Homo-oligomer: A and B are copies of this chain.
Amino acid sequence: MVTQKTLSLPPFPRGFHLITDLIKANLDLPKTGVLHVFIQHTSAGLTINENADPTVREDLESSFNHIIREDEPFYQHTFEGSDDMPAHIKSSVVGSSLSIPITDGELNLGTWQGIYLCEFRNEGGSRNIVLTTMS
A contact residues vs B (CB 8 Å cutoff)? 2, 4, 32-34, 36, 38-42, 47-50, 53, 55-56, 58-60, 62-64, 66-68, 72, 74-77, 85, 88-89, 91-101, 103, 108-113, 116, 128, 130, 132, 134-135
Contacts and interface: CB of A to CB of B under 8 A. Distances in A.
Contacts of A60: 88-89, 92
Q: Is the interface of A mostly helix, strand, loop or mixed?
A: mixed
A91 B130 CA distance: 23
Given A33-B2, A66-B72, A77-B59, A41 B130 contact: no
A64 to B, nearest CB: 8
Nearest to A56: B77
A49 B58 contact: no
A96 B77 contact: no
A41 B52 CA distance: 13
- Nearest 8 Cβ contacts at the A-B interface: A40-B110, A55-B76, A47-B92, A55-B77, A101-B130, A62-B74, A48-B96, A42-B50
